[in-house]
Amino acid sequence: MGVVLGVDVVMLGEATLTTLGVRPDYAVNVAGARVGYIEVKAPGRGVPSTWGKPNPHERKQWAILQLLPNVLYTDGTQWALYRSGELVGQVARFHGDLRKAADKLQPVDGEFVRVISEFLLWEPEPPRSIRQLVKAVAGLCRVLRGEVLDSLDRERRGEERDKVFSELADDWGRLLFPGLAGEKFADAYAQTVTFALLLARVEGIGFQGSHLADIARLLGKKHSLMGKALSVLTADTVEGRSIVATTLLRVIGAVNWDQISDGSADSYLHLYENFLELYDPELRKESGSYYTPNSIVSFMVRFTDEVLRTRLGKPRGFATEDVTIVDPAALGFPVHVWDPYVADLPPGVTGHATLAGLAAAVNHLTLHVPSTEETRGIVDRTVLDALGPAGHLVNTARGALVEEDALLAALSAGTLGFASLDVLAGEPPSGVSAELAGHDRVLVTPHVAYLSTRSLPMLQRRAAEIMRDLLTTAG
């Protein structure tokens, strides 16, 4: 078929490649570039689309093969082309029994020629959206993660002469990330390589005819850390050992970032959130990687920097040497909520049946509700007792939500640790509100916690943008 199509085809049998777990029987190169993989089964076993009862090995193998972008699957009489697990066209069939027909075996129709032609002439299609890009690379990244895990296992069993992955994992665990080993190392490795290659395409680095070392060198000219990371991670590792590395290069090499991105930082945020959703939903849940609009992120960062400079005596803001930035999600801090009107919560969020139950489970209780007949006084003695001596109450919503007599008593008795109040029941404060405002366990701001020289213009601009969007949509 290669001669008929005018292409130079080279098939690399499984015996010529290092065996790393479940893998196809052949890798196929056309004109020096990897186009796909062929899996050959015993006559009568069928293909995934016609399976009756696949055995455990076939199911396990297909779970990996369906992540690849171009796979030819055959038992000799049935031939099927799959792209990312989806059947392309129909299953091509032959008349007769492969074990008896020999050269008399004939295709039923023209489907066999189509299947082979489309397989050999495959070209990665440039993704046109973040979602398409993620779908193209997430599966390949999972295969790469699995290959690294398989390599680590083989090296531990003494089946590999060079222990390159084990040594690399040991170095990472000793020098960079204590405790990072096994599956966590394989995951970090696969993601770092994938996103370094994506960054190279963002910078316009071409992959045609290039090895990973060449790409790493060019990437290092603009992003020295990522370039060095790609160089160190891939030297003497994936090339020659991986069935997926060359395919990953071809797929990412087809990416045109300018056609995908809208030019804003939001594109990068959407990319990683969507990537984790397909790559590993549990990892997404564990890491707390959920999209927050860039306008909100920018406001939060600038507002915090303003507070550091003007309220906390840190003239250089985030750049001040004794300011440490901590990401609660990265530390695995749990998130708990109470909302009687919301049944379905996002992954990683724990719901509670009562506000007192929520208070008993957290250290910091923040209020985000309007003042209504239903919500006035919801923070009472029971809730404050549940929050406890180490608890911190934060109210930036409405003062009427809190029973101030109970709050003052809890703070004075030491049964509640601290309160941060941007609102009070009495404004200007008088009576109990005034006592709270002067309490040494209370931080009070006059309903302007959001306000700074930077936040006000941003809020005004955001209000104008919302009105613009509303009018544009309405028109």
DSSP string covering 333-360: --EEE--TT---PPTTEEE-SSHHHHHH
Least confident window among 92-96, 345-349, 394-398: 345-349
Least confident window among 88-97, 137-146, 293-302, 335-344: 293-302
Q: Are 199 and 226 in contact (CB under 8 A)?
A: yes
Least confident window among 5-19, 223-237, 389-403: 5-19
Average pLDDT for residues 142-152, to the nearest whole number?
A: 82
Residue-level pLDDT at 19: 38
Residue-level pLDDT at 18: 42
Left (φ > 0), alpha (ψ -120 to 50) or beta: where does 175 sit?
Answer: alpha
Q: Is the pLDDT of residue 320 over 50?
A: yes
- Sequence-separated (6 or more) residues with CB below 8 Å from residue 268: none
**Per-residue pLDDT tens over the stretch 192-247:** 888 888 888 888 888 887 888 888 888 888 887 778 777 877 766 555 566 677 78
Average pLDDT for residues 397-406, to the nearest whole number?
A: 93
Q: Is the pLDDT of residue 432 over 90?
A: yes
Average pLDDT for residues 111-122, to the nearest whole number?
A: 85
Q: Is the pLDDT of residue 454 over 60?
A: yes
Q: 158-180 in b/e burial notation, b at 16+ Cβ within 10 A?
A: eebeebbbbebbeebbeeeeeeb
> Which pLDDT band holds residue 20 (cuts at 50, 70, 90)?
very low
Q: Where is mean pLDDT largest: 146-155, 290-299, 398-407?
A: 398-407
Residue-level pLDDT at 297: 64
Residue-level pLDDT at 265: 58
Q: Are 253 and 37 in contact (CB under 8 A)?
A: no
Average pLDDT for residues 110-132, to the nearest whole number?
A: 83
Q: Average pLDDT over the chain, rounded to whole? A: 79
Angle at 45 between CA 39 and CA 51, to 5 degrees: 95
**Per-residue pLDDT tens over the stretch 31-67:** 767 788 888 888 888 889 888 888 888 888 888 788 8
DSSP 3-state of 139: helix
Distance in angstroms (rounded) separating the CA atoms of residues 338 and 2: 64
Q: 434-449 in b/e burial notation, b at 16+ Cβ within 10 A?
A: ebbbebebbebeeeeb
Q: Give phi and psi for 27, each to the nearest 5.
A: -105, 140
Least confident window among 104-113, 173-182, 195-204, 396-405: 173-182
Burial of 364 from C-beta contacts in 10 A (0-12 / 13-18 / 19+):
middle
Which position has the token pair 């020999």? 102
DSSP-assigned beta bridge partners for residue 72: 38, 81
Pairing of strands 335-337, 86-87: unpaired
Q: Are 247 and 31 in contact (CB under 8 A)?
A: no
Q: Is the pLDDT of residue 328 over 60?
A: no
**Per-residue pLDDT tens over the stretch 67-113:** 888 889 998 888 899 988 889 888 888 876 666 655 667 777 788 88
Q: Is the pLDDT of residue 329 over 60?
A: no
Q: Where is mean pLDDT largest: 64-78, 121-135, 157-171, 390-404?
A: 390-404
Task: For residue 135, count other CB atoms closer than 10 A to its CB.
Answer: 16
Residue-level pLDDT at 404: 95
Q: Where is mean pLDDT largest: 209-218, 263-272, 327-336, 372-381?
A: 372-381
Q: Are 25 and 13 in contact (CB under 8 A)?
A: yes
> Which pLDDT band holds residue 366 (cuts at 50, 70, 90)?
very high
> Which pLDDT band holds residue 330 (cuts at 50, 70, 90)?
very low
Q: How is residue 126 annotated by DSSP? A: P
**Closest CA relative to residue 219, chosen from 208, 240, 204:** 204
Residue-level pLDDT at 6: 62
Residue-level pLDDT at 15: 36
Angle at 88 between CA 82 and CA 94, to 5 degrees: 90
DSSP-assigned beta bridge partners for residue 336: 350
Q: Where is mean pLDDT largest: 205-219, 318-332, 338-352, 378-392?
A: 378-392
**Closest CA relative to residue 76, chosen from 109, 102, 55:** 102
Q: Is the pLDDT of residue 415 over 90?
A: yes
> Which pLDDT band holds residue 142 (cuts at 50, 70, 90)?
confident
